[in-house]
Amino acid sequence: MKTTQLLHTGLYLTGFMLTGIAQVFAEPTDKKENSWVDLLEGDSLAQWRNGSVNLQKKVLEIGPQWSVKDGVLLLDKDKKGRGGQIVTKKNYFNFELKFEFKISEGGNSGVKYRTKGSLGMEYQILDDQKAKDNKNPKNSLASLYQLVAAPADKKAFAPGTEWNKGRIVANGNTIEHWLNGQKVVSIEVDSADWKERFAVSKYKKYKDFARNPGPILLQDHGDTVSYRKIMVREFK
């Protein structure tokens, strides 16, 4: 074989090997990128409605304390008028939700899912240091409220500073909560661990708790809270 041919063959094999290595170590691409839905698209609340149980059958309009501007959804509790929970018009069961949030100093809020009325699993949003509901670790920031505590050393920004990044994965029995890129909750519904926790929780009397599709709910707990980049995609 001529020197030129050997050189070309060697370069080809080297390139092939490097390509293979790159494929092994490269981060996987998201083939479902187009399946993400922006729940605040166009600075609009068109995909949401009033979710307060005592009003939702009569009033679908969202109260004036809720507003969205420049991509930021704000519940302003200093503003006059009605607030209350808001929920997506669509129901979800197997999905991934990512969002960014800021909670006010001493504030309390939450993102609920697989809801029925106001009842559902909850990604707790809390000022761990100053909120009144900070005594139980299972009620702390990013915890699965009342069921699974997020670790005390989780990576979180103080209220009113930088945006925190939240993520919820609900896929079949698998439930995950993420905070700023860190997985802080992971549990399988109906596992022995789940059953033990559920039996001593406030939800124990609700046998169908979070077992059916339901709206995603943003909670009004009486405190100012902001959200942005609320994106959802469903799993098939």
DSSP bridge pairs for 38: 231
Q: Is 8 helix (H, G, I), strand (E, B) or coil?
A: helix
Q: What is the pLDDT of residue 11?
A: 40
CA-derived radius of gyration, the chain: 22
Per-residue confidence of the chain (236 residues) as pLDDT tens digits?
A: 544 444 444 444 444 444 443 333 333 344 445 599 999 999 999 999 999 876 656 677 899 999 999 999 999 999 999 999 999 999 999 999 999 999 999 999 999 999 999 999 999 999 999 999 899 999 999 999 999 999 999 999 999 999 999 999 999 999 999 999 999 999 999 999 999 999 999 999 999 999 999 999 999 999 999 999 999 999 98
DSSP bridge pairs for 37: 232
- DSSP per residue over 87-150, as a string? EESS-BSSEEEEEEEEE-TT-EEEEEEEEETTEEEEEEEE-TTT-TT-SSGGGSTTSBTTTBPP
Answer whether 15's CB lies under 8 Å from 8's CB. no
- List Cβ neighbours of 32 (8 Å cut-off, separation of 6 or more): 233
What pTM was estimated for this model as a whole?
A: 0.84
Q: What is the pLDDT of residue 208?
A: 95
Q: What is the pLDDT of residue 26?
A: 37
Hey, how many other C-beta atoms are within 10 angstroms of the C-beta on 19? 10
Q: What is the pLDDT of residue 236?
A: 80
Cα–Cα distance measured from residue 129 to residue 106, given in angstroms and rounded to the nearest whole number: 7
- List Cβ neighbours of 45 (8 Å cut-off, separation of 6 or more): 62, 66, 68, 73, 86
Q: What is the pLDDT of residue 17?
A: 42
Q: What is the pLDDT of residue 60?
A: 77
